[in-house]
C-alpha cells in the first residue's frame, strides 16, 4: 500500500507554488498577445506575473512545497518573459543592439551559473558564499536587495515599452524627454536605472565567476586523469 505522506508526481505538479507558476505562464501569454493593442493591460499583467515570482517562493517555503520542478519552472518563466520583452524593445528602439546584448548577457550568465552549480555539487545557484566579490555575495545573500535589482530591471523595461510612441524611437531620447513629462516618472527612472545597473554588473560577475568554475573543473579533471 502506497504511503500517502510521500509526494507523487501528480502532487508535486499540483503544489501551490507550481500552480502559481502555471498562472504566471498564462498571464504572460495573454500579455504578449495584446502587448501592442493594449499597452496598459500588458504592463499590468506583466508586472503582476513578475510579482508572483516572489509569491510562489514564499508559498513554497511556507507550505514546505519546495521542488526542483518549481525552481526550474520559475527560472525558465523569468528568462523567457524577460527575453520576449527585450526582443520587443529591440524592435522599437534604436540602437537595437543594446537590448539584444542585454538578452544575451542575461541568458549566458544564468546558464553558466546553473551549469557551474551542477559541476560544483551545490544545492542552489544562489549559494555564492565562497565568492570573492562582495557585491555578488550581497546580491544573493540579501533577498530585499536582490528583489530591488530584479524589480528595477522589469519596471525599467515596462516604462520604456509604455513610453514608446513609434517603432523607431531612440532609447536615450525617450529617457531624457520623460523629465519634461513628469518629475515623479523621471525620479522613478533614475531609481530603477540604479537597480538595473547593479543587476547588469551582477550578471557580468556571475558570468565570469561561473566560467572560472567550469575551467577549474576541467583543470581538476585533467590533473586526476
Query: Which residues are part of the catalytic machinery?
Result: 78
Instruction: Look at the alpha carbons of 18, 203, 146, 127 in this order and tell me if their dihedral is positive or negative.
Output: positive
Half-sphere exposure of 183 (CA within 13 A, CB side): 0
> C-alpha angle 76/78/80, rounded to 5°?
65
Enumerate the H helices of 63-96 as residue ranges.
68-92
Helix (H) and strand (E) counts in the chain: 9, 2
Amino acid at each position: 500500500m502506497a504511503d500517502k505522506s510521500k509526494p507523487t508526481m501528480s502532487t508535486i505538479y499540483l503544489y501551490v507554488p507550481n500552480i502559481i507558476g502555471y498562472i504566471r505562464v498564462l498571464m504572460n501569454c495573454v500579455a504578449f498577445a495584446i502587448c501592442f493593442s493594449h499597452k496598459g493591460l500588458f504592463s499590468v499583467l506583466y508586472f503582476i506575473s513578475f510579482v508572483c515570482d516572489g509569491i510562489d517562493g514564499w508559498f513554497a517555503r511556507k507550505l514546505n512545497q519546495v521542488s526542483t520542478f518549481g525552481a526550474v519552472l520559475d527560472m525558465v518563466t523569468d528568462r523567457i518573459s524577460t527575453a520576449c520583452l527585450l526582443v520587443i524593445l529591440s524592435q522599437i528602439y534604436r540602437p537595437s543592439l543594446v537590448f539584444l546584448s542585454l538578452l544575451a548577457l542575461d541568458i549566458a550568465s544564468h546558464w553558466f551559473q546553473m551549469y557551474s552549480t551542477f559541476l560544483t555539487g551545490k544545492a542552489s545557484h544562489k549559494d555564492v558564499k565562497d565568492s570573492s566579490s562582495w557585491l555578488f555575495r550581497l546580491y544573493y545573500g540579501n533577498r530585499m536587495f536582490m528583489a530591488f535589482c530584479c524589480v528595477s530591471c522589469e519596471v525599467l523595461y515596462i516604462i520604456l515599452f509604455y513610453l514608446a510612441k513609434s517603432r523607431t524611437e531612440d532609447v536615450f531620447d525617450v529617457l531624457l524627454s520623460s523629465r519634461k513629462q513628469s518629475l515623479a516618472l523621471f525620479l522613478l527612472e533614475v531609481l530603477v536605472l540604479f537597480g538595473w545597473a547593479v543587476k547588469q554588473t551582477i550578471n557580468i560577475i556571475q558570468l565570469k565567476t561561473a566560467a572560472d568554475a567550469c575551467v577549474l573543473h576541467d583543470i581538476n579533471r585533467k590533473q586526476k586523469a
